Amino acid sequence: MVDADILLIALVDTIEGVKSLIGEKGAGAVLREAGKHSGPKLLETLIGKLPEVLDKETAIKRTIHIMKELGFAEDIILSGDKITVKNDVFTEAMREEVNTNSPVVLFLAGLIEGFVQFMSNDKIVIRPLNAQKGLIEFNIK
């Protein structure tokens, strides 16, 4: 069986490879969409169809709880219209410097957006405000 850390490093290296091929902006757009697509698929695999559609606020809170439980980050905090992600697995695995335009940050944004849409049928857009290894702050639109 393959170690989860090895798979994570392979994913981050793949993201960096996409960035090398099509540039940071192109990779960010593609990987954000990949996150939006893979988030619902992951949740459907883990929990199946939800018996009810949640309101957007509840879906955001549940997304944060699920992502922490799945080990995406050590801590994820919702405060008003801001989400703070601490010690996430993606930026911690990066070899390069991390910023708000990093494709790996936008992939995580897409995952969150996809999780919320899966549970609520409402779309949200989150924008990275600050990003560095181990700390990302998003604004919810």
- Which pLDDT band, with edges at 50, 70 and 90, does 118 fall under? very high
- Kindly report the CA angle at 128 between 122 and 134, in degrees rounded to 5? 115
Q: Given this model, what pLDDT does residue 2 score? A: 64
pLDDT (tens digit, 9 = 90+) per residue, 34-76? Answer: 999 999 998 888 888 777 899 999 999 999 999 999 999 999 9
Q: Given this model, what pLDDT does residue 28 score? A: 92
The residues, any chain, with a CB within 8 Å of residue 37's CB and separated by 6 or more, are 110, 114
Average pLDDT of span 24-30: 92
Give the number of other CB atoms < 10 A from CB of residue 38.
16
Percent of the chain with pLDDT over 90: 67
- Which pLDDT band, with edges at 50, 70 and 90, does 123 fall under? very high
Domains and CATH numbers, the chain: 4-140 (3.30.1380.20)
